Homo-oligomer: A and B are copies of this chain.
Amino acid sequence: MKKPLLFAKELVREVLTPGDIAVDATCGNGHDTLFLAELVGPEGKVFAFDIQQEAILSTQKKLEAAQLSERVELLNTSHANEAFWPPAPLQAVMFNLGYLPGGDHEVITQPKSTVAALQIAVTRLQPGGIITLVVYTGHDGGEEELEAVRNFCTKLPQKEYAVLEYKFINQINRPPLLLAIQRLTKPTK
């Protein structure tokens, strides 16, 4: 059985095709940005957010090594900053909630800005499109963020969105879990 991080990628791979627009809402070390850039192809585009310059630089390096920089717009700002989101309908949006692995553990994603970004993502998602949130809860504030995000998710209308929770329930060390949102119907505009 796949771990949440891998299963998130599987869900995205099922729906994201060349020419699509995707967002990496928390680019971190750039793994997901690179993954999305490969899937959208030369005609598609990825917008990758991170408030930490360290993360942006690390991602940039990865993209250059893979010669995929042209497909990606790196945004060194908060994902809650709506003006920077692409206007086009989105086919995939990926979040990793917690702190930057190997970085400053004091800098963590925050419930308020995460939910604000999620609200933007949900609204711009096109039918069939998917949002994945891999949520780490082992750090201070992690459980509160999960609660805020989960609360937002459970209120999404079931006729328009399906929200999946995918988690391992017999582990004592608080492993990450996955929340995934798929838009079902046509946007009501």
Binding site for B on A (CB under 8 A): 1, 11, 130, 150, 153-158, 161-172, 179-180, 182
Contact = CB atoms under 8 A, between A and B. Distances in A.
In this complex, the member of A153, A162, A179 whose beta carbon has the largest number of chain B beta carbons within 10 angstroms is: A162
A162 B156 contact: no
A140 to B, nearest CB: 23
A85 B126 CA distance: 49
Contacts of A163: 168-170
Given A1-B164, A154-B169, A169-B179, 8 more contacts: A1-B162, A158-B170, A162-B168, A162-B170, A163-B168, A163-B169, A164-B167, A165-B167
Copies in the complex: 2
A165 B180 CA distance: 14
Contacts of A11: 1
A146 B171 CA distance: 19
A13 to B, nearest CB: 13
B182 A170 contact: no
Contacts of A157: 170
A157 to B, nearest CB: 8
A166 B155 CA distance: 18
Contacts of A154: 169-170
Contacts of A150: 169
